[in-house]
Chains A and B, each alone.
Chain A
Amino acid sequence: MGKNNISKTKEALKSNPCEKYELAITNYVIGEKIDIPQSELFEHLAKCQSCQGDLRNWRATYATMRAKEYDSRPEVKQKNEAFIKKLVYETKETKRTPIDAKWEIGSAAGKIYNLLKANGEMPIPVICQKTGLKEYHIQQAIGWLAGQEKILLTRDDKTAYASLRG
């Protein structure tokens, strides 16, 4: 019975020169030791379209088998169903709300303007620390102030600086 399977492969090996690589592909994908050097397998694969197709098919098959087997375990199945139910029926949905750009960017720009007025030129990371504003608010406000020509931006190798114009 056991010999039957091996002899089938041996017969195929005689008629099909790719057979030994196909057997190696089977074992490589499932992580078993292969009977030929790995470099030989990949050199052959690089040249042989048919074996490339075989590898692609076996990779897809083995991934499907693994995922199906994992999800069929009773404890995993139960966990998955519970997770999806919880996600769908119990998660509080996050609704997008429009940003009041004039107010948000304007008030952030005002804070930065007053800080620069009081302290003169400052590195931008320090402005972030001193104002406690979120980084995207700082970026929007600095962009807005620069567009209005209220501030001057300079940079050296390490960081960027902002100061009031005039």
Chain B
Amino acid sequence: MSSDQPTDSPRRSLALMADEQLVEQFYAGDQSADSPANRDKSALETLLNRYNTIILTYLFTISFFKNEQYLADVRQKVLITIFNELSNHNFASIVEGSFKKWVYRITYFACINSDRERRADMKTTSDVFPEEETDLSNLVLMRTTPSTSDYEEVEEQLNEVSARLTDEELELMKLVSQKVPYKKIRERQEFQKYSVDYLKHKVHNIRKRMREKE
């Protein structure tokens, strides 16, 4: 790895900076440096790490395909686009608004393009439209697409509730997050004593506890 990587203490102060400040720091590094190689790249690295999971979260909501490996690949494309755009100084908060909204816009368009390519590669109709969807369900799903501010609220709810869950409940939610079906969860030793119905209601009640935090 190259020698221009930062030490730990500047990294800590970068973590406290706002997105737009980090962009400014990256741009400013460019002006004072002799060559692009001497830019303040740690600011850029901090930004990309900060948005890594946020981008994937947004992709899980908006993509037609919920396959995690596919979405992780789309995320890489988004990170490359952000890197290229920032390297060319193409983000200006006065034009684009907040950095976060700019990232969401890039993610949205990358997702639409990738979904279109993936659909075009598919051979059978059932692959292209994996779930039977009606006009009404499409309308409702479109109307209930989370807004960018929803994720911040949810993050708080999750952190608060997670801190008060038992180990067993945490494990259950982890398995649900991995999309393990209830029947498979029940096959695990620690959940054998419960019925599928119980697990369903358990998850539902945990979710209600999160909503009550609103």
Contact = CB atoms under 8 A, between A and B. Distances in A.
Nearest to A2: B198
Given A23-B204, A57-B150, A84-B52, A42 B137 contact: yes
Contacts of B178: 69
A71 interface: yes
Chain B: interface size category: 35 or more
A9 B41 contact: no
Interface residues of A, number: 52
B7 interface: no
A68 B90 CA distance: 29
B203 interface: yes
B23 interface: no
B132 to A, nearest CB: 8
A80 interface: yes
B139 interface: yes
Nearest to B155: A64
A44 B187 CA distance: 34
B87 to A, nearest CB: 5
Contacts of B76: 83
Given A26-B207, A39-B134, A63-B60, A52 B182 contact: no
A87 B80 contact: yes
Contacts of A63: 57-58, 60-61, 146, 151
25 contacts: A2-B193, A2-B198, A9-B201, A23-B201, A26-B203, A39-B134, A45-B144, A52-B140, A56-B146, A59-B145, A60-B146, A60-B154, A61-B158, A62-B60, A63-B57, A64-B57, A66-B60, A71-B56, A84-B45, A85-B1, A89-B1, A90-B2, A91-B83, A94-B87, A96-B88
Given A60-B146, A62-B60, 9 more contacts: A42-B134, A57-B146, A57-B154, A63-B57, A63-B151, A64-B57, A67-B57, A84-B49, A84-B52
Interface of A: 2, 5-6, 8-9, 22-23, 26-27, 30-32, 38-39, 42-43, 45-46, 52, 54-71, 76, 80-81, 83-85, 87-91, 93-96
Interface of B: 1-2, 4-5, 36, 41, 44-45, 48-49, 52-54, 56-61, 66, 68, 72, 76, 79-80, 83-84, 87-88, 132, 134, 136-137, 139-140, 143-146, 150-151, 153-155, 157-158, 173-174, 176-179, 181-182, 193-195, 197-198, 200-205, 207-208, 210-211, 214
